[in-house]
């Protein structure tokens, strides 16, 4: 159980400000992650809109810890869960798409895959790869997510963020210092929406690219398994999966977690894994690769929460 910051769960709920959104106590976060593991949120807050989020941030007690999660696709929540308040932007106000020519502004809570129909209907291409990245729009910036030889930084125009004082800012690429699978993203920022630069394209061409990318993933990645995608970043000039394979880690298991036979940079929950199983397996891979190559792999999956 949690080491209480402010008494027990009912006491935490009691000191939080009145909001228009929802407070949910002791929510199992496993159902919000692609790994399907992890302990509970002490309190889960689903704000109704940006004003509701601002009210919460301005009026909550300073000692209450706040954690923001997105689509949970690149996330490993430890078995002890997350103390304090976990915020998830999933209400309709955070899931809108607006087009200004070939510029597309997308709410932080929208699933990346849900962009497909609107891009086709509006004839805006160049953003198909985003639809192939698991998760939600808000999580793209922190890791400069990408695939199929394109990164978010290649199409990023601007974003609106809210800081921990409830202030909203418009920020550009210069504020993130994007690099491979990383950015200078402050922990106190919450993404509200992101604007991308697309290109004019025919709907049938967009459909073709989306189908090609989906077929590639089906052929090369364990997409129907409980996995968070690529576990480790590619070291400069190298590929993580190849280093893992050469270190003899393909098929390696710890408890209910295993390394995928299809793509060994993917860790899989076979159905009964704990977060500890997955994290231990990842650290074992790091150790074996370092022994074999002297290279230390860096986690791409974000780990958070407390151990049980």
Annotated catalytic sites, by residue?
181, 230, 300
| 217 domain residue, yes or no | no
What's the pLDDT tens digit per position in 209-248? 999 999 999 999 998 899 998 999 999 999 999 999 999 9
Closest by CA position to 98, among listed 195, 207, 210: 195
Query: Can you give the CATH number for the domain in which 174 is found?
Result: 3.30.465.10
Query: Can you give the CATH number for the domain in which 255 is found?
Result: 3.90.78.10
What's the pLDDT tens digit per position in 269-283? 999 999 999 999 999
Looking at the structure, tell me whether residues 125 and 184 fall in a common domain. Answer: yes
Q: Write down how long the chain is.
A: 308
Domain boundaries, position 154? 95-205
Decide: 69 and 75 in contact? Cβ < 8 Å: yes
Average pLDDT over the chain reads 93
Please, which pLDDT band fits residue 10 given cuts at 50, 70 and 90?
Answer: low
Q: Is residue 209 helix, strand or coil?
A: helix
162-189 average pLDDT score = 91
Closest by CA position to 74, among listed 231, 279, 262: 231
* pLDDT for 297 beyond 50: yes
Q: For residue 50, how many other CB atoms are within 10 A of its CB? A: 20
What's the pLDDT tens digit per position in 12-32? 999 999 999 999 999 999 999
180-200 average pLDDT score = 92
Looking at the structure, tell me whether residues 189 and 230 fall in a common domain. Answer: no
| 115 domain residue, yes or no | yes
76-100 average pLDDT score = 97
| 86 domain residue, yes or no | yes
**pLDDT of res. 143:** 84
* pLDDT for 9 beyond 60: no
* pLDDT for 141 beyond 90: no
| 212 domain residue, yes or no | no
**pLDDT of res. 180:** 85
Q: Is 261 left (phi over 0), alpha (psi -120 to 50) or beta?
A: alpha
First to last CA, the chain: 7
């Amino acid at each position: 159980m949690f080491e209480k910051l402010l008494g027990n769960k009912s006491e935490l709920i009691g000191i939080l400000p009145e909001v228009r959104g929802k407070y949910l106590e002791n929510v199992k976060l496993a159902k919000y992650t692609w790994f399907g593991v992890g302990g509970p949120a002490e309190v889960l807050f689903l704000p109704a809109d940006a004003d509701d989020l601002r009210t919460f941030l301005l009026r909550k007690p300073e000692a209450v810890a706040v954690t923001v999660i997105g689509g949970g696709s690149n996330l490993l929540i430890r078995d002890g869960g997350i103390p304090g308040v976990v915020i998830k932007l999933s209400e309709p106000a955070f899931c809108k798409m607006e087009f200004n020519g070939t510029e597309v502004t997308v709410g932080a809570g929208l699933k990346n895959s849900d962009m497909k129909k609107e891009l086709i209907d509006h004839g805006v291409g160049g953003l198909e790869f985003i639809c192939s990245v698991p998760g939600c729009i808000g999580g793209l910036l922190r890791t400069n997510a990408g695939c199929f030889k394109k990164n978010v930084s290649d199409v990023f125009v601007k974003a609106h963020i809210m800081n921990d004082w409830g202030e909203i800012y418009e920020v550009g690429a210069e504020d993130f210092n994007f690099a491979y699978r990383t950015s200078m993203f402050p922990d106190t920022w919450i993404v509200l929406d992101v604007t991308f630069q697309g290109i004019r394209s025919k709907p049938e061409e967009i459909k073709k690219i989306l189908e090609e990318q989906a077929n590639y993933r089906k052929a090369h990645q364990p997409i129907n398994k409980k996995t968070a995608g690529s576990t480790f970043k590619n070291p400069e000039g190298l590929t993580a999966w190849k280093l893992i394979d050469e270190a003899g880690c393909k098929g390696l298991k710890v408890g209910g977690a295993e390394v995928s036979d299809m793509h060994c940079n993917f860790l899989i929950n076979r159905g009964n894994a704990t977060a500890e199983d997955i994290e231990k397996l990842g650290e074992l891979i790091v150790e074996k690769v370092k022994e074999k190559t002297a290279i230390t792999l860096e986690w791409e999956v974000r780990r958070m929460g407390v151990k049980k």
